[in-house]
Amino acid sequence: MEAGRIGLMLMAAAGYDPHHAPKFYEKYDNAHGDNFLKATHPSGEKRAKALRKDKVMNKAKDLYDQARARRELESFNEESSDFTFGNSLFEDDDKGFDFIS
């Protein structure tokens, strides 16, 4: 169960919606039925239930929100890096504004 919790935190910190993880484990269980993992690993249903606990999901949601905010800030910084004060409609030449003189 610890590996599932750690995986949830890592995916959330990477910007993936943590609410999808419990659904994945449930679908995986349904798709694969009886397999060798069931002898040594908890069922997808148990994993999903553990990941849906408020304490776990809230922490993952916080990491996800932080990752999204970082991504939005990086995107804004990339877009604004092209912004210059030159080539304005209010200038006579293409040298840009001279803030010193």
Q: What confidence tens digit (pLDDT) does each residue in 26-79 have?
A: 888 778 766 666 778 888 889 999 999 999 999 999 999 999 998 888 777 776
CB 36 within 8 A of CB 7: no
In the predicted model, what is the mean pLDDT of residues 71-88?
A: 66
**Residue 100: is its pLDDT beyond 50?**
yes
* pLDDT score at 101: 47
* pLDDT score at 36: 65
**Residue 87: is its pLDDT beyond 70?**
no
Distance CA 93, CA 96 (A): 7
pTM of the prediction? 0.65
